[in-house]
Amino acid sequence: EVQLVESGGGLVQRGGSLRLSCAASGFMLSSYTMSWVRRAPGKGLEWVSSSGASGTTTFYADSVKGRFTISRDNSKNMVYLQMNSLSAEDTAVYYCAKRDGGTYFDRWGQGTLVTVSS
Amino acid sequence: QSALTQPPSVSGSPGQSVTISCTGTSSDVGTYDRVSWYRQPPGTAPKLLIFEVNNRASGVPDRFSGSKSGNTASLTISGLQAEDEADYYCSFYTNINTFLFGGGTKVTVL
């Protein structure tokens, strides 16, 4: 069974950093592009970042470019999101999502909450 | 690129049908079939319903169907049930390897 379990969320001060982790199981991580998607309180879903299967290609939303870094360790079945220079606008539940076929997300984790205090 | 446009809310009585629209532009939804739909009940993770405009994901009842006309994609829920109350999102995969999401539509079963 495919499972994605996020961790690493919490309360951080404005300007601080946080590293999110996503533990993947039930499928061969090295064969799939993985992404992070967030949902801020009272708002809709927002795509944040994607990492190609090998980790050599990465993509970012303009809102996080230069501050967030996605990475992965396929040998450990882990995907990460390093978040720096956090602001209140980054407060959200962050979901790890598996992409299938390239154009959609077929599996999602339960999410981890990041709260940035001012 | 701008986000996709969805109505904030739709409602219907049990057994009725509701349709959620997702409007993009001629550069995205109007040209490519890379539209997917997700359901997110309160306090839970999103779940894939429809991919590539009109393909149901595994295990999704045939009450859920997708379509597209011009720059607008649509999700129709037939035979509305109480368990269908949730937020619904459309998404589009762009030519520059990013994703656009709609603002979400809250479905209420009266």
CA distance B25 to chain A (A): 18
- CA-CA-CA-CA dihedral for A55, A59, A64, A65, to nearest 10: 100
Instruction: Identify the band that residue A102 occupies on the pLDDT scale cut at 50, 70 and 90.
Output: confident
CA-to-CA distance for B102 and A10, rounded, in angstroms? 27
Instruction: Identify the band that residue A118 occupies on the pLDDT scale cut at 50, 70 and 90.
Output: confident
Query: Which among A35, A61, A109 has CB closest to B45?
Result: A109
pLDDT at B54: 97
Instruction: Identify the band that residue B1 occupies on the pLDDT scale cut at 50, 70 and 90.
Output: low
Residue B2 pLDDT > 80: no
Cβ <8 Å between B100 and A101: no
- Residue-wise pLDDT for B40-67, tens only, equals 999 999 999 999 999 999 999 999 999 9
The answer to whether A89 and A25 are in contact (CB under 8 A) is: no
**Structure tokens given for B83:** 């368990």
CA-to-CA distance for A76 and B39, rounded, in angstroms? 30
Question: Which residues of A fall within a CB distance of 8 Å from B36?
Answer: 103-105
Mean pLDDT value of segment A53-76: 97
Residue A98 pLDDT > 90: yes
Residue with tokens 């539940």: A93
Nearest to B20 by CA among B110, B105, B92: B105
The answer to whether B66 and B74 are in contact (CB under 8 A) is: yes
Query: Which among B3, B45, B51 has CB closest to A104?
Result: B51
Nearest to B45 by CA among A98, A84, A14: A98
Establish, for the pair of chains A and B, how many residue pairs have beta carbons separated by less than 8 Å.
Answer: 68
CA distance A52 to chain B (A): 10
Taking the Cβ of residue B7 and every Cβ of chain A, the question of whether any pair is shorter than 8 Å is answered with: no
The answer to whether A84 and A17 are in contact (CB under 8 A) is: yes
